[in-house]
Amino acid sequence: MSNPFDLAILGSGFGGSLLAMVARRLGMRVLLLERGSHPRFAIGESTSPLTNLLLEKIARDFDLPRLLPLTQYGAWKRAYPELTVGLKRGFSFYHHVAGEPFASDPERNRQLLVAASPNNAVADTHWYRPEFDHFLVREAQALGVEYVDRVSIDGLTRTGGCTELSGAREGQAVRYQAGFVVDATGPRGALTRLLGLPEAEFAGYPPTQALFTHFAGVDRFAPLAGTPGEPPYAPDDAALHHVFGGGWMWMLRFENGVTSAGIAVEDRLARELRLEDKDAAWDRFLARYHSILEQFQGATPVLPFIHAPRLAYRTRTVTGEGWALLPSAAAFVDPLFSTGFPLTLLGIRRLATALSLRGTAAFPIQLREYERRTLREADTTASLVAGCYAAFPEFPAFAALSMVYFTAASYSEMARRLDRPQLASEFLLGNQPAFYAALRRHAEAAGRGEPASAEEIAADLEPFNIAGLSDPAKRNWYGVDLEDVAHGAAKLSCSEAEVRRGIVKMLQPLS
Ligand SMILES: Cc1cc2nc3c(=O)[nH]c(=O)nc-3n(C[C@H](O)[C@H](O)[C@H](O)COP(=O)(O)OP(=O)(O)OC[C@H]3O[C@@H](n4cnc5c(N)ncnc54)[C@H](O)[C@@H]3O)c2cc1C
């Protein structure tokens, strides 16, 4: 056995590799242990403005310049043409009714397009995880992280301030020692099993399941939707969602011809579709929704289907003596609104702060604070998503409630761009009591089947609405309206001139 490492990280998804790099920059000796090997399939692909801002900030603050181009579509294409990417200009939603084709109406009451960026150059991306994660592992190794793949860890003992991990690699027993261990293996992952950590439920959250894979030959939906007018962006160059009673479907297009698609549905619908039948269940799903079936007419899966029989997960404990779970190992709600990456990135940042204080009395205090925020942010996300599931059958109710997410997201983005991160220090503005109360109230009302009107929701969001959202005149098509942002300066405790300077920065592609 070699000398103890300062930090052992279990799992080399994007979260584990990124934390490994950050810890190296903090001067730690880092071990990264992976059960499988790269390149490999991973789910969780779609970014958002907040994801990219948080990643950019980590890259700048921890001297990881090679990660910067990955935070913008245009810069990525220039710097790493060999890494497959997908263009994400926004969030597109279309509402479907079983047994009927999608019906476009002049008021656009059955669709919602929310742009996330003003042009392709500075747009968000979908990460093609086989290549993206492999790249990050190689970057971590280049920084001196010791990476061991195809290793299975089945024992953990802690003595004298040091943790020993034991297991096997290619039939040989292995043992590693580390001062601190972080679990980056995802929900119900390595430490959860090794330490027997108890699971808790999200209060009021519906049981959901998922079925997903990668496809070739998926058509674009916008031409099938047949909506007149010029949308704020090409609706398929986005995270495209098909929404229906009982669940929703995601579609993310990559530039290698692959489309990631899957459904997340409540148990009732999962039982009707018999989701465990995988391919046959997928065909049963498509047969219900005529326009989605049309979109998939020429499509074939390029990987086997994955059935997740229980999608949401929440632990009770996030940290303990000598260990911590990444947010992505502590909880997962649903892919809706692409919340997994920002939650993980916020956690990596907080763990980095804690780790930089190891050996001091502040370390355990920081870890407890990390635990509190991780669970609270997961619970807030679950509350909003639960409300959305209840609202899916009535699209106008869902569209109105979704404005809670988009208001929080755009406010958080601008607060960070304007160097006022304290205004949005928690995900979904959990640090803003008025906003947090409105989120809980409206999500719970929707969950009870008594959604508030769009006007009531808009009134509560108004003090934080800096992006011209909840505006009936826009008829559910929201472009990036920079004048709205400038006029919302006071909501961000800024002058209009400061905001205009922030906008100029936002429009500048990374060089
Ligand atoms: C269906 C679905 C869709 C999602 N879509 C989105 C989205 O669009 N946007 C978004 O922001 N988030 C999304 N998420 C969440 C997102 O997947 C996670 O936030 C993200 O993958 C977390 O990254 P990670 O590196 O922590 O974990 P992962 O990407 O899960 O990586 C875990 C790694 O640990 C390894 N591992 C597992 N067990 C062990 C072990 N015992 N020992 C060692 N290694 C092990 C695995 O092989 C893997 O390499 C989605 C999640 C799901 C379930």
Domains delineated in the chain: 5-73+128-201+316-370 (3.50.50.60), 85-126+206-308 (3.30.9.100), 394-506 (no CATH)
46 in helix, strand or coil?
strand
Closest atom of ligand 1 to 189 CA is 38
Q: Which amino acid is at 402?
A: S
SS3 of 251-306: the string is: EEECCCCEEEEEEEEEHHHHHHHCHHHCHHHHHHHHHHCHHHHHHCCCCEECCCCE
Question: For residue 505, what pLDDT is reported?
Answer: 83
Lowest-pLDDT range, 247-261, 443-457, 474-488? 474-488
Residue located nearest, by CA, to atom 12 of ligand 1: 340
Measured from the CB, is residue 192 less than 6 Å from ligand 1? no
CA 232–ligand 1 middle distance (angstroms): 31
Q: Per-residue pLDDT for 319 more than 90?
A: yes
Dihedral angle computed from the Cα positions of residues 57, 333, 8 and 162, in that order, rounded to the nearest 10 degrees: 120
Per-residue DSSP letters for 164-209? Answer: EEEEEETTEEEEEEEEEEEE-S-TT-HHHHHHTPPEE--TTPPPEE
Q: What's the pLDDT at 1?
A: 52
Minimal CA–CA distance to 229: which of 91, 108, 396, 119?
A: 108
Residue having the nearest C-alpha atom to atom 16 of ligand 1 = 44
Nearest-CA neighbor of 413 among 148, 85, 50, 92?
50
User: What is the distance in A from the centroid of ligand 1 to the CA of 42?
Assistant: 6
Task: State the closest ligand 1 atom to the C-alpha of 262, by its place in the atom list counted from 1.
Answer: 1
Residue 262: name the closest of 235, 286, 245, 238 by CA: 286
Q: How far apart are CA 370 and CA 356, in angstroms?
A: 14
Over the stretch 284-300, which tens digit does the pLDDT of each residue have? 999 999 999 999 999 99
Cα–ligand 1 centroid distance for 396 (angstroms)? 32
The verdict on the CB of residue 18 being under 6 Å from ligand 1 is no
pLDDT at residue 181 greater than cutoff 80: yes
Q: How far is the CA of 41 from the centre of ligand 1 (A)?
A: 10
Q: Which atom of ligand 1 is nearest to the CA of 51?
A: 11
Ramachandran area for residue 289 (φ above 0: left; ψ -120 to 50: alpha; else beta): beta
Supply the residue whose CA is at minimum distance from atom 32 of ligand 1. Answer: 185
Three-state DSSP at 37 gives coil
pTM for the full model? 0.98
Sorting pLDDT into bands at 50, 70 and 90, what band is 3?
Answer: low
Please report the pLDDT score of residue 171 as a whole number.
95
Ligand 1 mutation target, pool 328, 333, 385, most atoms within 8 A of CB: 328
- Range of weakest confidence among 154-168, 306-320, 452-466, 476-490: 476-490
